[in-house]
Chain A
Amino acid sequence: MAVFLSNGLLGGGQQKEPATEPSTSAKLPSFVPTDLLNPIEEDTSTSTRHIDPADANQGLSEPPTFTLDKDSMTESRSFVSNGLLSGAEPVDTNQDPSARISMLNTETTPASRSFVSNGLLSSTEPIEANQDQSPQTPAPNTETTPASHSFVSNGLLSNIASSTSSFPMDRPPQASSSTLRFNVQARTFSGKAVYIRKKSKLLTNQPTQQLSSQKIGKLLDVPIHRLMDELSAATAARLAALPSREIDTKNAAPEDTLLVDRYRPRRYVELIGSERVARDTMTWVKMWDWCVFGRKKGKKRARDGDEELYDDDEYHRPRDKKLLLLSGPPGLGKTTLAHVIARQAGYEVMEINASDARSGQIVDDRIKPTLEAGATIGSKKPVLLIIDEIDGATGAGDSSATFIHKLVQLTQQKSKKKRNGQKNGPEVKKPILRPIICICNDHNAASLAKLRPYAYQIRMSRPADIHTVKRLRTICDAEGLKAETRALGTLVGIARGDLRSCLNTLQFIKSRSDEVTEAMIRRATAGTREADNTISSVLNSLFNPMTRKRVKELGLTEDQEGRYVSRLSQEIDAVGKESSIATGCFAHYANLRQLDANFSRYEKANEWLGVYDYMTSAMYSEGEFALSQYIPYLLIPFHPLFQERGSARVERSQADWEHSQTRRTNEEIFKSLAGCIRIASGKLGGSYRQFMSSPVLETEFAPYLNRIISPPLRPVNSQIVRPEERTLLTRLVNIMASLELRFMQERAEDGQLTYRLDPPIDVFVNYDGKRAVDITVTRYAVRHIVAGEVEAKLTGQRVDIVERSKPSFRSFFGSSDKSNAPSRTRLGDHADGPPSKRIKVDLADKPPTDFFGRPIDLTKITVANQAHQKKHAAKCFKISYRFAEGNSAAVRRPVKLDSFL
């Protein structure tokens, strides 16, 4: 209907369009004007079907029959907008077919809302509205919102539409009248009339319409003229302030702010450093747009048509990298980058840094509520969390209460929660739908180990010195400092690209003079510590001489260069992990190529390591922490001994760490073996206890036990083994059962079943991954037999214990029945230990046998029966008490009940 209006208004200009359309258009229906004046109605009146020129272009892809869906409606709307805009631009929407594709799934409601509000608000700025329109139309992902937006604004402003300019006022009556119509008539090209029924459900949209019209009043609660006044007043104030600020920078400002703050980049384009890093960060933040803002900002996605590239989850968040980890040396602008990008992408920033407490509790108390709410209090923008200096947060160790652990849990849990959520209903916690950026210096920090797999990692590196120098130059110019480029270059070199420290130095110089020379910079930076100290960098400076470049940067003389002790000790001290450095030195020194004919240097190096170890262990065991200041000096000798120009970079060896890991697992195995021995000696009256102590267990017991429990057995059925093998097997089973060693069935990776010794004490005969030659690897079948027998034995023992408690109970009651005594003795060493479990009552006279014809003993049953009978008999029984049986042996004698009565 609206369409028709627009066409009517535009007249002949449009008529050309159908002429250019392909022949298929013949089948398409032409539209028939049904209503002239309800332009607003377009939002709800989806029943209208029209074919506009734009549609005609699409004829090929669209079926000739009508579909009364939202899509067609939105198209019509977009067409209207163009029509009203200007007669010269009817083709606008036709330009890009993909534009329409993107429109197909837009929804009506947001469109209609934005339509009204924009229309009214943009009235003061007609030109801007037009500008909005024109760049966006060729863009592939033009959506209806801007289109309708521009429509109204233009409609209100254009002179041609003088008649329509009043339509906001007469909208209500129009709207109500349109709802009364049931159907709409349209006509095909062949002239056939088509009646289209109005979709009744769309009537529900009617309130929206009224609501939006109500909104007008709300939105403009400040009258427009007042707004205008305010605007002009503000501009006037700004203009007035301008000259005075220029004066300010000359005298007042320097005292006020640091250079660092004054020249902190505020916009994306002002960022310095690798553009790729900034771009990557931006891309990652933008990946959240769909989730955070809905479709509005997902512009790139549609253009590239590569939605599948973005691996989204159900909330359209990045699938597995839900965190961003930004790492790099200090002073490169990581925090600034994060802030700028967050602001640029339309977020409100919430920052947590080292000044806040960062225990696991904070995640629950502060982070989670904010992220779940989606915005900070009093702000309309969605929130973006920046966790600065995260490497200082708690996170190392296995505790689940650390900050990092909780954070990871927070980001990861929801997929799980989601699944539950569908079952449990709405009370389940909301997933976190806001991006989190973590910033750290050392991305290898131990505390971040858990975070790394879930984080998209971006590393910032030092930008090329030229860029930094250029930026410094701009700042110097703005500050009125005269600086030589050479001096600035030196400054950047000394600071290793740390822009913040450069600026601080400049400020320091500026406070004294207006000129920056190299000499001044040298003076100002004298004695500054090396900024970036990691274990590997220290190792490198221990094993490599200073690079020529670095020497030049620091402007050292040859004599100064030769003095390494204080320089290296400072470096080692700054890292503070002497033990790791010592291990690194130890791991590395023997890899060097240098010729050392008689190991004299090796001896010296080991001497120093020995002294180092002596000192540190003295320090820790005696608590002599005053020694700690001397520790760094014990590692410096590696420099004169092994420094070598151009040698390979020092790689931190993992050997020591791996060794400590395997050692820990093996210690655990020994511990469980010791536990087994304890149980065994508890059961057997202390017989194994001599093996429990440490050197004997490892050096004697473990290797020989392994041999004892691997006798050469043939894999045959346990029923038909030879007697000598039977005794062997019995003994093996007994030993294993008493030590609680078992063969556990397991499925290997290739799907084969294997038996594993548990606890796996066989690792102690495996060196270099090879088994000792004299121990035969028992075959699966053998282990199967042994495992079965051990299991039977253990069950038998358990039954035994139960039974043993019964007879004692019975004898207590003065049972005279001795006939059962022999049958109660432990079942022979033969493997059919557990038959008592399989007892069946045989009714025949012959002794009962089980399925295999072996006799079954009936102890259990008889015991039970007899106990029962005895209860009835209950002739004479004594009761005695035992008191405090145990170590002290304080009082321990039977007491008769009489003494209590």
Chain B
Amino acid sequence: MSLWVDQYRPRSLDDLHYHQGLSARLRSLAASGDFPHMLFYGPSGAGKKTRIACTLKELFGPGVEKIKIDQRIFLTPSKRKLEVNLVQSNFHIEITPSETGNYDRIVIQELLKEIAQTQQVDLNAKQRFKVVIINEADSLSRDAQAALRRTMEKYMSNMRIILCANSTSRLIAPIRSRCLLMRVAAPDSDAMGTVLDYVARRVGFDLPPDVAGQIVEDAAGNMRKALLVLEALKMQSPDLSGNLSIAKPDWETYCHKVADLIVQEQTPARVMEVRAKFYELLSHCIPPTVILKTVAERVVERVDEALKADIMHWAAFYEVRMRVGSKKIFHLEAWVVKVMSLYKQFFYGMDLTGFD
């Protein structure tokens, strides 16, 4: 028994509820027999993986749904063992190379070559090639991406690659140019409402429109989140009546608290307090960029118009540093200090540089 998100996930291109135009295009691509490398990108929870799975089914038939999951161990040059989870059917293989961090290049090189060098033997197969799906392509290291670009051309006859990423900005241009870019936009609220209704109907209960509206609003275009919220809500208050509050993830609530702390007071003591909170968040394995983004968005909501642009600018600035650096807490705190300083300057209405 799985969660609703999985249980009522569309299995074929026909079942998809929104972006019909995209579905039609994918269908015709799959039928054409000249299937290119593809790059699916779009925000989290928009349905990229679902769409990829549907496309695969269109390409190869129901055989792709016979999936097995196993682990493979790769050996780094320094004899370290890397465990990579593989999801594979007879026609495709799905990997997340970023699981191995800096060693993703090795996974890409070894695995892709191995797959590319074996031809499809099954004469009944619809297509002559196999498909490799690379998840989280945007967190591939530069080396891995470089390893990918030549492989993509060389083994075109045996293999197609489908990349799945949140944004294309972190993919090197040679890769982008080798792929057909498929943007999967976040569904609008009507589409999300439809999906929620559909799931509710399938499960067998009525979803009050206001509840659906609340969920959609909260999820902000993240379908997966909306469905998880729906299920959590249904679990916690089975009759879906009365005063319902949409549960926010705890880390988000906590981030908002941090933002409030920053806006309320700007003192060294507060800096320390905020630092303790950041430590707490980081120790819960929340990605630091997510923390920075959530806190920054909340701070921006609460400050004067004149400051918003600056705060966001510095958030972006420190996010870059954070990605490059390794001590995340330094950059989080640097941003906090920057924001406090900006806020104070604004509050006193003058630039205090050189005051003391």
Contacts and interface: CB of A to CB of B under 8 A. Distances in A.
Contacts of B45: 700
Contacts of B245: 774
Contacts of B305: none
Interface stretch (A195-203, A279-287, A538-546, A687-695): A687-695
Given A606-B333, A765-B250, A708 B231 contact: yes
Interface in A646-701: 655-656, 659-660, 662-663, 666-667, 670, 678, 680-682, 684-690, 692-696, 698-701
B351 to A, nearest CB: 8
Interface string A578-605: 0000110010001110011111101100
Contacts, number: 237
A892 interface: yes
Interface stretch (B18-26, B86-94, B183-191): B86-94
A712 interface: yes
Contact of A700 (B6, B87, B225): B225
B352 A598 contact: yes
A887 B284 contact: no
Contact of B279 (A602, A659, A684): A659
Contacts of B253: 767, 772
Contacts of A602: 268, 271, 337, 341
A206 interface: no
B110 interface: no
A733 to B, nearest CB: 9
Given A607-B334, A701-B228, A889 B321 contact: no
Nearest to A659: B279
A599 B284 contact: no
Nearest to B164: A693
B287 interface: yes
Interface in B111-137: 118, 120-122, 135-136
A93 interface: no
A616 B326 contact: yes
Given A687-B7, A711-B235, A767 B287 contact: no
Contacts of A768: 280
Nearest to A685: B67
Contacts of B275: 590, 655
A694 B93 CA distance: 19
Nearest to B5: A690
Contacts of B284: 666, 698, 763-764, 767
B1 A693 contact: no
A708 B235 contact: yes
A586 B324 contact: no
B121 A617 contact: no
B352 A600 contact: yes
B79 interface: no
A606 B66 CA distance: 53
Contacts of A887: 88, 90, 93
Contacts of A873: none
Contacts of B3: 687-688, 708, 735
Interface stretch (A13-21, A168-176, A434-442, A724-732): A724-732
Contacts of B170: none
A686 B7 CA distance: 11
A613 B326 contact: yes
A536 interface: no
Contacts of A600: 341, 352-353, 355-356
A707 interface: yes
Contact of B69 (A598, A686, A724): A686
Contacts of B266: 599
Contact of B249 (A614, A692, A704): A704
Contacts of B345: 598
Contacts of A607: 334
B242 interface: no
B326 A598 contact: no
A734 interface: yes
Contacts of A596: 268, 356
Interface in A601-637: 602-603, 606-607, 609-610, 612-614, 616-618, 620-621
Contacts of A698: 251, 284-287
Contacts of B222: 700
A795 interface: no
A732 B286 contact: no
Contacts of A666: 283-285
Nearest to B278: A659
Contact of B324 (A617, A708, A728, A888): A617
A21 B1 CA distance: 99
A350 B329 CA distance: 49
Interface string B44-57: 11000100000000
A891 interface: yes
A890 interface: yes
Contacts of B329: 586, 656, 659
Contacts of B236: 707, 710-712, 774, 776
Contacts of A724: 238
A678 B69 contact: yes
Interface in A719-768: 724, 728, 731-732, 734-735, 737-738, 763-768
A699 B290 contact: yes
A373 B34 CA distance: 82
A136 B191 CA distance: 103
Contacts of B356: 595-598, 600
B80 interface: no
B276 interface: yes
Instruction: Find the residue from A662, A678, A767, A890 having the highest chain B CB count within 10 A.
Output: A767
Contact of A599 (B49, B224, B225, B341): B341
B140 interface: no
A70 B51 CA distance: 98
Given A685-B65, A698-B286, A703-B251, A728 B87 contact: no
Contacts of B340: 599
Interface in B239-271: 245, 247, 249-251, 253-254, 266, 268, 271
Contact of A606 (B1, B285, B334): B334
Given A597-B356, A610-B321, A734-B1, A700 B224 contact: yes
A343 to B, nearest CB: 49
Given A712-B236, A735-B1, A606 B337 contact: yes
A687 B280 contact: no
A737 B2 CA distance: 10
Contacts of B99: 694
A607 to B, nearest CB: 7
Interface string B324-356: 111101110110011011001100000011011
Given A700-B228, A708-B231, A767-B251, A598 B122 contact: no
Contact of A889 (B90, B331, B341): B90
B315 interface: no
Contacts of B251: 698-699, 703, 764, 767
B194 interface: no
A52 to B, nearest CB: 79
B229 interface: yes
B325 A617 contact: yes
A704 B231 contact: yes
B85 A692 contact: yes
Given A698-B284, A767-B250, 13 more contacts: A602-B337, A603-B334, A606-B338, A610-B321, A610-B325, A613-B330, A659-B279, A684-B2, A687-B3, A708-B232, A711-B235, A711-B236, A728-B238
Interface of A: 582-583, 586, 590-592, 595-600, 602-603, 606-607, 609-610, 612-614, 616-618, 620-621, 655-656, 659-660, 662-663, 666-667, 670, 678, 680-682, 684-690, 692-696, 698-701, 703-705, 707-712, 724, 728, 731-732, 734-735, 737-738, 763-768, 772, 774, 776, 887-892
18 contacts: A590-B275, A613-B327, A621-B102, A656-B329, A686-B67, A689-B94, A690-B5, A693-B136, A698-B287, A699-B249, A700-B222, A701-B228, A703-B249, A704-B225, A766-B250, A767-B251, A772-B253, A887-B93
